[in-house]
Amino acid sequence: MSSENQLSLFDDSSFNQQDLIPTDAKISIPPGTYSTMTELAQHCDRCHRCVLGDTRTHAVVGRGNLKAPIMVVGEAPGQNEDETGLPFVGKSGQLLEKILASVNLSTEQDVYIANINKCLGGYTRIITEEGSKRLNWIVKNQWSGKVLSVDPNGSLVWKQVTGWYRSRLAGRQLYQVFFSDAKSNNKGEVGYIATADHPVLTRRGWIPVEELQDDDLVATGTPAPGSRGLQVLLGSLLGDACISSSGQFLENHSIQQAAYLKLKARVLNGFRPQVKEYLAKSQNGKTYQYLSMGLAKTYYLQDLREEWYANNKKDFPITALEKLDNFGLAIWYMDNGYWRRKSTDGQIRKSIDVEIALGNITPETAQKVVKYFETQGYRTYAVFKSTWRLFFRYGEGIRFLENIAEYIPASMRYKLPEELHSIPFNIEAYQEEAVVTYWKPVIKKLLPPKPDFDVVYCIDVEDTANFVTPAGVVHNCRPPENRVPTTQEITACKPYLLEQIRLVDPKIILLTGATALKSLTGDKRAITKIRGQWLEWEGRLCMPIFHPSYLLRNPSKERGSPKWLMWQDIQAVRAKLDEIRKTT
């Protein structure tokens, strides 16, 4: 094949750079790229210019009259929009249609809609970096510190409060939400009070309070261990650690094992471990130094106690044994095990004996432990000598130690025979883990109307848009799926919007909310400061208006309220349209 023919294979004249637009945000979309909205929609349907393309159900392009004199620009699709592929079809969309209809405007004739890309009772306590604070105090003082929140991975993170809201209840139903085993505080308060539409984070996603079901697991916003943290907890509880009736985890080690205890604390850092030194006298009257490690009380530890203390006495649940891996076995062995090479008559033997103290468990549990080790391939037997002890049969002990040796740090290598000291220590197993949220079922209770309860509160939280309450993680005032688009997402999607504006060629553009305003015009002013004003952008008249979801959160129609202001704005839009039509 000639070089000319080879080159011709890569010089396909039918190839068009436009075909690559949906694949890469770096590829520009110059004016005039699309001749029809159908062409644009086809690209949007297969667009992956940003990460949203990986998770969406439908691309939400627009709806309404393609030759409309008015274009409404929203910020981003929500769940209803993603499911239907149409903008503003949820409650916000229904309200928008009513607002337009109030001045005889409709999407069939006058309007085309496109996109750029709830409240709690005041006594609800919010977990902050400075301790627990009441929600109404946070709002009234516009406190902008950090609150505990949950990121998309379920990890607990601290995020800043960025907005504060106070609105009239206006007849909305209220629910009290609390965990089934929750105890009231010293003022008789339990859980939180929320409006029926306030979203709560559950295993099946963000669910309005009124739609919570008995089997829904709710994110508590309190820590649960990761995979390695679970092994440390289980191994320690199989040893001498305990959980008090109040949910306080506690274990003790000699001062010689300080380095080992600190490694444990590192893995369990999300539980805010506190390591303290203390002195204790032994039976012979000598004083020894010890270290104790306590973990913060959490819902997870309270439930773990229920599992381990079924009859108010510690016992080994078979479910815990089944969760153990070699890391957890190593923790258990270091806490309660040892080895010896000498026989009872003092003779040195080639084989070694390995023993693990089981403590004051029942005979039935001792046999469960033996059966567990059998499932792991080890032959063992249990003996009662004032307390129960587990012994590995001939040749099994050394194999057991070989399998767990990598998890035994230098300070604990005396727990291994010298021939296993060459096995390298796996320090990675003891690294701090991301703190993830624990999940629990909640109870909701519809409250009767309270004449003195007419104001509800909420806050906005940066990035994650949620915060932790005494009965779970709730969403802030923004609808759950309508988070503010990222800069990268706006950059990827804005060229499509510009083409839509060119194709529709509206006389008036209504920008719903600060995100739409900033994304299209670059104006960073707050929507409350600029709404209702006429702006000129690229030779077109624009008016920033409240987003309908903001009006849903503020239902009052009193003079000066958001809904009253919206009525003034939409009348001004109608008047401006009539004026334009008279002069053209």
CATH number of the domain that 301 lies in?
3.10.28.10
Lowest mean pLDDT, pick from 106-115, 137-146, 281-290, 376-385: 281-290
Q: What is the mean pLDDT of residues 111-134?
A: 83
Position 282 pLDDT exceeds 70: yes
* pLDDT of 485: 64
pLDDT at 118: 43
Residues 15 and 96 in one domain: yes
Same domain assignment for residues 216 and 347: no
User: What is the mean predicted confidence (pLDDT) over 48-74?
Assistant: 86
The per-residue pLDDT for 208 is 81
In this structure, the answer to whether residues 234 and 369 fall within a common structural domain is yes
| 3 state SS of 138 | helix
| Residue 568 located in a structural domain | yes
3: confidence class by pLDDT, cuts 50, 70, 90: very low
**What is the model's pLDDT at position 8?**
37
User: Which of the four pLDDT bands, split at 50, 70 and 90, describes residue 56?
Assistant: confident
| Average pLDDT for 347-359 | 83
CB 299 within 8 A of CB 451: no
Poorest-confidence range of 43-47, 51-55, 362-366, 490-494?
A: 51-55
Mean pLDDT, residues 324-347 taken together: 87
Statement to judge: residues 109 and 215 lie in one domain:
no
Residue 236 has pLDDT above 50, yes or no: yes
Q: Which residue has the higher pLDDT, 222 or 172?
A: 222
pLDDT for position 187: 47
In a domain, 265, yes or no: yes
Where is pLDDT greater, at 209 or 204?
A: 209
pLDDT score, position 10: 37
CA distance 144 to 138: 8
Amino acid at the residue 227? S
Domain containing residue 352: 227-430
Q: Which of 1-10, 179-188, 344-353 has the highest mean pLDDT?
A: 344-353
More confident of the two residues 252 and 190: 252
Do 362 and 406 fall within a single domain?
yes
Count Cβ atoms below 10 Å from residue 1 Cβ, excluding itself: 7
Q: Are 243 and 380 members of one domain?
A: yes
Task: Find where tokens 């209803």 sit.
Answer: 80
The answer to whether residues 265 and 397 belong to one domain is yes
What CATH number is attached to the domain comprising 167?
Answer: 2.170.16.10
Cβ–Cβ under 8 Å, residues 289 and 255 = yes
* Backbone φ, ψ for residue 547 (5° rounding): -70, 140
The pLDDT confidence band at residue 9, using thresholds 50, 70 and 90, is: very low
Question: Using an 8 Å Cβ cutoff, are 467 and 147 in contact?
Answer: yes
Question: What pLDDT is stored for residue 579 in this prediction?
Answer: 96
Structure confidence by residue, pLDDT tens digits, 441-457? 999 999 998 777 778 88
Q: Residue 205: left if φ>0, alpha if ψ -120 to 50, beta else—which one?
A: left
- For 538-549, what is the mean pLDDT? 93
The confidence score (pLDDT) of residue 349 equals: 61
* Vertex 564: Cα angle to 122 and 571 (nearest 5): 155
pLDDT above 70 for 55: no
pLDDT band at 490; cut points 50, 70, 90: confident
Mean pLDDT over residues 253-276, rounded?
95
For residue range 297-317, list pLDDT tens digits in order.
999 999 999 999 988 899 999
What is the reported pLDDT for 343? Answer: 62
Same-domain check for residues 263 and 410: yes
Q: Are residues 403 and 441 located together in one domain of the fold?
A: no
Whether residue 26 is contained in a domain is answered as: yes
> What is the average pLDDT across 337-354?
76
Distance CA(357)–CA(333), nearest Å, equals 9
Q: List the beta strands (DSSP E) in 111-248.
A: 111-115, 125-128, 131-134, 146-150, 156-168, 174-179, 192-195, 199-202, 205-208, 217-224, 242-243
Q: Is the pLDDT of residue 464 over 90?
A: no
User: Of 51-55, 248-252, 254-258, which range is least confident?
Assistant: 51-55
| Beta-strand relationship, 125-128 and 131-134 | antiparallel
Cβ atoms of 482 and 75 within 8 Å: the answer is yes
172 within a domain of the structure (yes/no): yes
Phi, psi of 27 (to 5 degrees): -85, 120
Within a domain: residue 332? yes
When pLDDT is cut at 50, 70 and 90, the band that residue 553 belongs to is: low
Between 531 and 489, name the one with better pLDDT.
531
pTM of the entire predicted model: 0.62
Provide CB contacts within 8 A for 516, sequence distance 6+. 73, 74, 75, 116, 544, 547
425 contact partners, CB below 8 Å, separation of at least 6 = 406, 407, 408, 409, 410
**CA-CA distances (angstroms) from residue 313 to 99, 247, 362?**
64, 14, 10
Region 326-332 average pLDDT: 98
Q: Is residue 510 part of a domain?
A: yes
The C-alpha torsion from 542 through 545 and 549 to 551, rounded to 10°, is -160
Average pLDDT for 208-220 = 88
CA–chain centroid gap for 552, Å, is 25
Shared domain for 389 and 242, answered yes or no, is yes
As a whole-number percent, the residues of the chain with pLDDT over 70 amount to 89
Average pLDDT for 233-239:
97
Mean pLDDT of the chain: 87
How many independent structural domains does the chain possess?
A: 3
- Per-residue confidence (pLDDT) for residue 344, from 0 to 100: 58
Q: How confident is the model at residue 350 (pLDDT cuts 50, 70, 90)?
A: low
Residues 135/453, Cβ–Cβ less than 8 Å: no
Confidence check: pLDDT of 14 > 60: no
Tell whether 4 is covered by a domain: no
Across the range 164-177, mean pLDDT stands at 80
Q: What is the DSSP letter of 122?
A: T
Last residue of a domain, one of 396, 415, 430: 430
Mean pLDDT along residues 67-92: 84
Residues 6+ apart with CB under 8 A from 188: none
Q: Kindly state whether residues 547 and 471 are assigned to the same domain.
A: no
The terminus-to-terminus CA distance of the chain in angstroms comes to 65
Does some domain include residue 1? Answer: no
Q: State whether 270 and 367 are in the same domain.
A: yes
Q: Which of 475, 499, 533 is the last residue of a domain?
A: 475
Q: How far is Cα of residue 81 from the mean position of the Cα atoms in its chain?
A: 22
